[in-house]
Amino acid sequence: MDTIMTLCTCIETEKTILLSRRSPLKGELLSFVRGLTKGNLSLKLSTVALSDAGRYRCSIHTDKLQKSCYVNLTVGESKVIGSHDPVTVRVGYDVILPCHLEPPFDVRTLTVKWTRNKTVVHVSRHGKDYLNDQDENFRNRTSLFHEEMTNGNISLKLTKVTELDAGSYTCNVPCLQSQVRRGFINLTIEPADQTETKQKKKSGDAGGGTDFSTGAIIGIVFSVITVTAIVALAVLMNCIKSSKSIIFSLSIFSI
């Protein structure tokens, strides 16, 4: 577990300090000696375990008095939380598979293991990557956010996603003192051609109305021009016929 610090300050200084607890401690026990001259009797307890929960007493004894203060320590369990909703990504893109500990817990000293259908995806121990057993399909495409592990963030980043990456992923902290050491994330891959087809279809639907309107306008204009041309031709033909009739009449009259 993580490291905690209990606080206890007494007025009398430079006296004998007694640290006691009703049951033996399982873990490293350290005192902050730098603050003794100022009355700081704080206690640091490293590698906290569930068995460390309980009531602590800080006492100071002198020839004339005896003073004590108490601190109640409650140790909770951090649970590994995955994602209830499936994560969807397009082929060729990068994706982050979310996984964290709640409440936040520093996992830098523990092992974090990612798998997909029992295939090793990524392993980190004590803040360092161990990828000897990593499946070839994930080689050079996975990473963890090591700088955020102090806050319990064990999310996995997967780059250049392919259709072979689809499936159920598990993030696991094997040595976590908790009943919930695993989180699950389902990754769904959306093919690139399917996405492009949808986008083209949407673009076609959006632009189809414009194309239809333009075609209709062109058709109307063409029809108007055609009708005008026919009318003009008819008038012209009528004028020609009239002219021929006048000329023919004049010719007869002259004879």
Q: What confidence tens digit (pLDDT) does each residue in 151-169 have?
A: 999 999 999 999 999 999 9
In this structure, the answer to whether residues 186 and 95 fall within a common structural domain is: yes
Q: Which contacts qualify for 12-20: CB closer than 8 Å, 24 or more apart?
A: 12/39, 12/60, 12/62, 12/65, 12/67, 13/37, 13/38, 13/39, 15/60, 15/61, 15/62, 16/60, 16/61, 17/41, 17/59, 17/60, 18/59, 18/60, 18/61, 19/43, 19/58, 20/57, 20/59
187: confidence class by pLDDT, cuts 50, 70, 90? very high
Residue-number span of the structural domain to which 42 is assigned = 4-73
253: confidence class by pLDDT, cuts 50, 70, 90? very low
Higher pLDDT, 47 or 179: 179
| Domain end point (choices 133, 164, 191) | 191
What's the CATH code of the domain at 135? 2.60.40.10
Count of domains in the chain? 2
Residue 245 maps to a domain: no
In this structure, the answer to whether residues 91 and 24 fall within a common structural domain is: no
| Domain end point (choices 27, 42, 73) | 73
